[in-house]
Amino acid sequence: MTDSKSFSLWLSLLLPLGCSPSPSGTTPASPASETRTEYTLEGSGPELYEKILVPPLFAPWADDLVNRAHLERGDRVLDVGTGTGIVARRATAIVGPSGSVTALDISPDMLAVARKAPAPAQPIIEWIEGDALDLRFPDATFNVVLCQQALQFFPDRAQALREMFRVLAPGGRIAVSSWRSPELNPYAIEFAKVVDKQVGPEAGAETRSPFGWDNQRELVQTLKSAGFSNVQADAVTLDMREPDLTTFIINDLLAYPSTGRTIASWSTAEKDALVGEILAALEKYKTGDSWTIPWVANVAVANK
Ligand SMILES: C[S@@+](CC[C@H](N)C(=O)[O-])C[C@H]1O[C@@H](n2cnc3c(N)ncnc32)[C@H](O)[C@@H]1O
């Protein structure tokens, strides 16, 4: 998953992999010892992203990003690589009716889910299908640009940042985030190590790819080269709290093309063993019935 095309493939694979309603309707609270009887999750890829990944993971990061951007009432905001729209929705609640929020993504399927998700009534979010490398907005249209966990997927990050700079008004702010390396993200590394071993190194490499743009110095330099000033980058850690880590892991496994394709033909016992091993590797993050796992990202803010 190194570019926008593979991200779309990543999502589209969830459909063929079987997103029919689960016959049991419930998911066990998930210790490794419990046996699952099926591996189907209800919903399309983007629906599952919104339902399973956004609440415990991307929503807390969206709150952090809008805080760091010091959003205010009346701001004119662009969210680039909006996905199913969590950052745009959080921004809308802050800028209020006197502001505006425009949210852009290359995937029409992600945008279809974004449009349906409940959002504050005003301002109405404008959802735009488009490429971050070629923003179709006049110069100086916005005074805040946000981009959460999308920059690492763009085939030309420098070009995307130049475009974000161009569409910002003088004095405008940008806030962007990108995961740090798998080695610094316990969920990612334990997940990838088990996938390496049980599915194969190609699948393991694929699961590391969202964590593939870890270089904070390069992030700062790319922002400066695009024209930004007052660039400040921090390694930020936020905890993911997830009571149903089994469903989270299954969604993740099915979501990666190579991994998903391979395990689709496995027996239930083999899949149980795979999920069980990942859960066991993360056992130290379990307290009572829930997991609390730290995730680390580079988050940068800057001015035009
Ligand atoms: C991991 S998701 C992050 C979504 C959202 N920002 C969030 O925090 O939930 C990455 C998003 O980047 C989008 N994307 C990838 N390449 C893109 C491009 N060239 N232009 C616009 N969006 C792109 C994908 O379609 C996907 O929705």
The model's pLDDT over 83-93, given as tens digits with 9 standing for 90+, comes to 999 999 999 99
| Any domain includes 31 | no
Ligand 1 pocket test: pick from 2, 7, 66, 136 the residue with the most ligand atoms within 8 Å of its Cβ. Answer: 7
CA of 3 to the centre of ligand 1 (A): 10
**Higher-confidence position of 41 and 136:** 136
* Mean pLDDT of all residues in 269-284: 95
| Any domain includes 33 | no
CA of 23 to the centre of ligand 1 (A): 32
Cα–Cα distances (Å) from 180 to 8, 203, 216, 234, in that order, read 22, 19, 8, 11
Looking at 12-16, 154-158, 188-192, 221-225, which range is the least confident one? 12-16
| Any domain includes 34 | no
Q: pTM (2 decimals)? A: 0.88
* Ligand 1-lining residues (CB < 6 angstroms): 4, 7, 58, 81-83, 86-87, 105-107, 110, 131-133, 148-150, 153-154
| Any domain includes 32 | no
Q: What percent of the chain has pLDDT over 90?
A: 76
Contact 66, 132 (CB under 8 A): no
Angstrom distance (rounded) from CA 42 to CA 251 = 10
What per-residue confidence (pLDDT) applies to 33? 38
Atom of ligand 1 minimally distant from the CA of 147: 6
* Mean pLDDT of all residues in 163-183: 98
Angstrom distance (rounded) from CA 6 to CA 84 = 17
| Any domain includes 205 | yes
Ligand 1 pocket test: pick from 50, 57, 82, 133 the residue with the most ligand atoms within 8 Å of its Cβ. Answer: 82
| Any domain includes 185 | yes
* Mean pLDDT of all residues in 39-59: 85
What per-residue confidence (pLDDT) applies to 137? 98
Which DSSP string corresponds to 176-199? EEEE--GGG-HHHHHHHHHHHHHT
CATH code assigned at 116:
3.40.50.150
The residue whose C-alpha atom lies closest to atom 8 belonging to ligand 1 is 148
pLDDT at 37 > cutoff 70: no
Range of the domain at 280: 4-21+39-303
| Any domain includes 81 | yes
The count of domains in the chain is 1
* Mean pLDDT of all residues in 187-198: 97
Which DSSP string corresponds to 241-267? EES-HHHHHHHHHHHSHHHHHHHHTS-
- CA nearest to 191, candidates 131, 279, 102: 279
Ligand 1 pocket test: pick from 52, 153, 159, 252 the residue with the most ligand atoms within 8 Å of its Cβ. Answer: 153
Amino acid code (one letter) for 201: P
The residue whose C-alpha atom lies closest to atom 15 belonging to ligand 1 is 4
The residue whose C-alpha atom lies closest to atom 27 belonging to ligand 1 is 83
Please report, to the nearest 10 degrees, the dihedral formed by the alpha carbons of residues 68, 72, 77, 79 taken in order. Answer: 30
Q: What is the pLDDT of residues 112-163, one digit of tens each?
A: 999 999 998 899 999 999 999 999 999 999 999 999 999 999 999 999 999 9
CA of 34 to the centre of ligand 1 (A): 35
Q: What is the pLDDT of residues 230-258, one digit of tens each?
A: 999 999 999 999 999 999 999 888 888 78
Angstrom distance (rounded) from CA 265 to CA 267 = 7
Per-residue confidence band for 28, with pLDDT thresholds at 50, 70 and 90: very low
Ligand 1 pocket test: pick from 5, 47, 135, 149 the residue with the most ligand atoms within 8 Å of its Cβ. Answer: 149
Per-residue confidence band for 44, with pLDDT thresholds at 50, 70 and 90: confident
The residue whose C-alpha atom lies closest to atom 10 belonging to ligand 1 is 150
What per-residue confidence (pLDDT) applies to 219? 98
pLDDT at 50 > cutoff 70: yes
| Any domain includes 29 | no
Amino acid code (one letter) for 48: L
